[in-house]
Amino acid sequence: MPKILIIEDDISFCKLLDKFLTKNAYTVTASYSAAEAKAALTKDNFDLVLTDLRLPDDDGIKLMGEIKISYPNTPVILMTGYSDVNTAVKAIKNGASDYISKPFNPDEVLIVIANVLENNVPEQKLEKKPQKVKTTPTDNEEFVQGISKASKMLSEHIKLVSPTDMSVLIIGESGTGKEIIAKSIHQQSLRKEKKFIAVDCGAIPKELAASEFFGHLKGSFTGAISDKIGYFEAANGGTVFLDEIGNLSYENQIQLLRALQERKIKPVGSNKEIKVDIRILTATNEDLREAVKNGDFREDLYHRINEFSIHSPALSERGEDLMLFAEFFLEKANDQLNKEVIGFSPEVVSIFQKYPWPGNLRELQNCVKRATLLTQTDFIESNVLPAEFFQRTASTAGEFSLSVNEKEAIVNALARAQNNKSEAAKLLNITRKTLYNKIKLYEIN
């Protein structure tokens, strides 16, 4: 099976191309920078290199020249979003075996690659398409490492606090993945071999909270037909995650505080105290400081659970990660639904980037799973998206929002950034590559 190295800094496009080529019987290694590509070339032998013209840390043509010097028998195909004949000619003169313009035509890509490989090794024949092997993401894979500033800060905080025994309060909007953050902290902690127990405080009636947390003896109250081990004892040596802790009643807060201070619990109906060694992780989508001021949440408990706080960023704060998460959820949906959808059409990517995602990651996951179920082709198209994606609303994202008048917004952003494409892309909250494609689409000079 021919091995192909892709060098492309547009992560969404790179993953799409990776899956497309893998589905067509190629073994693919993806790298998002010239540095990553050079490292990959030293570790493995590749039959072909596909490199983008513009990379964050190098020039595609320059990199191609270096590859041809170090690996003269490895053909290189150049990819670019600019259908510029001069660029194509220059690339071929510098050793490119061929040239592909983006957005690419799938059939054309397969033909170009097949021709280059055939010319490079005449006797080589492409293998038959292999049977796809399904893989289920493990718990460790559930925490997606994003590339946005907010995600990098989140990962750094998790890395720093995980090996400690500090109580962590995770603060963030509903649907931002607070439980996944808690699991990641547990998995990177010294308690990772012990249990992780998640408790939804909002789903426990206040009359039963003590029993759920600390257990009870048979006959201690009506309905207690047998002894019950509570969450704290069950998780002994491990981690208890209390989600939406702000929903606990004041009485339950007192019981919880006493257990955390003394590290002992007393099951309901028992006179015997049980020592417990647990780490407490908590989460909330409300401002507990305000609840403390209003007398709804105990201040001493707040400080006990908040030895270290972590902000769980909303999806709107992680624009650069959007398609990373979408791709991850697509893989999960493919596995759960026994589908083989390759990726998202450019139109869907654009729609996703403009949508505000009020339901955050939970909404994105549900949307991708639904779209995967409805998709009958290789790519998710706009016709399988929910109706709310097409309801035009007034912009609240500022003067540069692409949801109002895309071409005008781009022109205004370019003017504000004095034609600096990177700065304009930041103003528009899109990637530099997306900006270049839209400049070409609207024929903006």
Task: Look at residue 396 in the predicted model and tell me its pLDDT.
Answer: 43
Contact 427, 350 (CB under 8 A): no
Task: Look at residue 178 in the predicted model and tell me its pLDDT.
Answer: 95
Q: Does domain 3-120 have CATH number 3.30.43.10?
A: no
Q: Identity (one letter) of the amino acid at 39?
A: A
Task: Look at residue 57 in the predicted model and tell me its pLDDT.
Answer: 77
Task: Look at residue 225 in the predicted model and tell me its pLDDT.
Answer: 80
* Domain limits, CATH 3.40.50.300, in the chain: 140-313
Q: Using the CB atoms, write b or e for 360-374: b if 16+ within 10 Å.
A: bbebbbebbbebbee
Question: Which of 166, 194, 198, 193 has its CA nearest to residue 182?
Answer: 198
Task: Look at residue 393 in the predicted model and tell me its pLDDT.
Answer: 45
Task: Look at residue 157 in the predicted model and tell me its pLDDT.
Answer: 96
* Domain limits, CATH 1.10.8.60, in the chain: 317-441
- In this structure, which topology does domain 317-441 adopt according to CATH? Helicase, Ruva Protein; domain 3 (1.10.8)
Task: Look at residue 139 in the predicted model and tell me its pLDDT.
Answer: 43
310: helix, coil or strand?
strand
Task: Look at residue 27 in the predicted model and tell me its pLDDT.
Answer: 92
Query: Exposed, middle or buried, 195 (CB in 10 Å: 0-12/13-18/19+)?
Result: middle
- In this structure, which topology does domain 140-313 adopt according to CATH? Rossmann fold (3.40.50)
* Domain limits, CATH 3.40.50.2300, in the chain: 3-120
Residues contacting 294, CB < 8 A, separation 6+: none
Report, as ranges of residue numbers, the positions in the chain whose pLDDT lies below 70: 81-94, 103, 121-143, 391-405
